Amino acid sequence: MSNPSSAQTFDRAKRDYRSTLIEPFSQIKFGIYVIGASVAFVICVAAMFIYAFSKQYEHLMTLFNVTDFKDQMELVTNDIFYQNAIKIGLLLVGYVIGMFILVFKLTHRYYGPLVSIERFVDEMTQGRYGQRVKIRQKDELQRLTEKLNDMASALEKRHGSK
């Protein structure tokens, strides 16, 4: 086989770039749901952690009989506390970025073929039986598209193509 020409390569790159955002609002909506649920979970865990920390803090302050608020704050808010707070903040930012990337890839992988199938069904409804569903080989709905293409072939044999 020959190598694709530069025009074909450019067309493929342009098509890949254009198809990156399949249905941007649907992808964003799904992403907000997943990230929102994840952030809600993180907030609940953080609230439980803060509650446990405050109970432990109260216990320690009574145990060591520290009554001055300034002394209490110095015992708790030291360099180690700030370093851990920064690490937890960076971890949360990394988590949100990771979830965004994961949601983007998953919606592209699963929602993309559904958009192609929806377009195909619209073509079939209009009587254009010569159309075929085309999705990437690695997409999850490959078996369904093969069956839809078989159906289109049978309809084309029976009714012809527009």
pLDDT tens for 21-50 read 556 677 777 778 888 888 888 888 888 888
Task: Read off the pLDDT band of 150 (50, 70, 90).
Answer: very high
Q: What is the DSSP string of the chain?
A: -PPPPHHHHHHHHHHHHHTSSSSHHHHHHHHHHHHHHHHHHHHHHHHHHHHHHHHHHHHHHHHTT---HHHHHHHHSSHHHHHHHHHHHHHHHHHHHHHHHHHHHHHHHHHHHHHHHHHHHHHHHTT-TT------TTSTTHHHHHHHHHHHHHHHHHH---
Q: What is the pLDDT of residues 59-105, one digit of tens each?
A: 777 777 777 777 777 777 777 778 888 898 898 888 888 888 888 88
Q: What is the pLDDT of residues 100-133, one digit of tens each?
A: 888 888 877 777 788 888 888 998 888 888 888 8
